[in-house]
Amino acid sequence: MFTLIRNADIYTPAPIGVGDILLSDGRIAAVGGKIDFSFPGTRIIDAAGRKVIPGLIDQHVHVTGGGGESGFASRVPELMFSQVVQAGVTTLVGLLGTDSRTRSVENLFAKTKALNEEGITAYCLTGAYEYPSPTLTGTVGNDIIYINECIGVKLAISDHRSSNVTRQELIRLASEVRVAGMLSHKPGIVTLHTGSDPAKLDLIMDIIHTTPIPAKHFRPTHLGRMVDAAAAFAKEGGFIDFTSGENPSASADKLKEAMNKAPFDRITLSSDSNGSMPKWGPNSELIGITAAKMTSLYATILALHREQGVPFEKAICPVTENVAKALEIYPQKGCIAVGSDADLAILGPQLEISWLIAKGQVLMEEKKILVKGMYEE
């Protein structure tokens, strides 16, 4: 059926003024100005002049839970569907982290499929921190080619929990992922958890300078601790991902610093939701641990706008247009345009996420979550 959103202050993410948005069969059928449309059963939503933005994209989510660095009791619970809705996220990428022993690629793929069934768009990465990469089919390339939701691989570098992958091993992995992406029409990405080792991004900078592998295939993340190195990589054509973390103000400060140093359209933001956030002492000993929350994603965007003075239409790009282009799903995702997926958030008077629509289905109305996971109370 049809849904017509009237009197919306539309951000595509560029502001185009107050107008209407017509949704049909999970897509945007028309946008802008007053839409003259009437059909029996059409749902009318009056946005009353409030901002409407694309649904958020979170490209780094531990959908099956992360953690484990402090023993079995520190394993973070898996993501609940209502957490996604509350955070305003309509598209995400699931992945594993430190623990690929008590967590599995099989479970990850199953959870990703479940999230798609529940009402959002979910992709995933094979692999984990370790190398060789754990897979479902036996090879990273086959996971990407034959599993619809799988778009790349996860690996850790510059971290004491990594496998300390060699230059040649990373070249071979990236080459396999690149070819698999070409064969399956996927972005073929190597998402790199990047720790605090002084080597930072040296390994991938060396590879893109000395091999024909394009920078776009390497996706380093958690880059708030190395903004200068991240900016240098972005200038080489790579995408750089920052983590919203526990302190949205501090994360927004790092994002603004990156915007001053790197090409803006290469900057993305993700939440690391349901992953552990360990605190390490001077000898890499664990001194504390918490879990990341998906709501930090939009909280960081608001801090970027309110505290750092970034115009709202620009502040939302790292979680809409920029990341959609990085994942090669733009303009299907990350914008409000005719033909795009009907993934939208209607904001409240204080710019809070009040309504959420994914694939044309209303998941949240005036902050009331309408759709939850099967076993959520």
Catalytic center residues: 272
Q: Are 269 and 319 in contact (CB under 8 A)?
A: yes
Q: Are 220 and 233 in contact (CB under 8 A)?
A: yes
| Two structure tokens written together for 69 | 């660095």
Q: Which residue has the tokens 């040649």?
A: 168
Q: Quick one: which of 291, 238, 298, 294 has its CA closest to 262?
A: 238
Three state DSSP letters for the chain:
CEEEEEEEEEECCCEEEEEEEEEECCEEEEECCCCCCCCCCCEEEECCCCEEEECEEEEEECCCCCECCCCHHHECCCCCHHHHHHCCEEEEEECCCCCCCCCCHHHHHHHHHHHHHHCCEEEEEEECCCCCCCCCCCCHHHHHHHCCCEEEEEEEECCCCCCCCCHHHHHHHHHHHHHHHHHHCCCCEEEEEECCCCCCCHHHHHHHHHCCCCHHHEEEECHHHCHHHHHHHHHCCCCEEEECCCCHHHHHHHHHHHHHHCCHHHEEEECCECCEEEEECCCCCEEEEEECCCCHHHHHHHHHHHCCCCCHHHHCHHHCHHHHHHCCCCCCCCCCCCCCECCEEEECCCCCEEEEEECCEEEEECCEECCCCCCCC
Q: Quick one: which of 165, 229, 177, 242 has its CA closest to 202?
A: 229
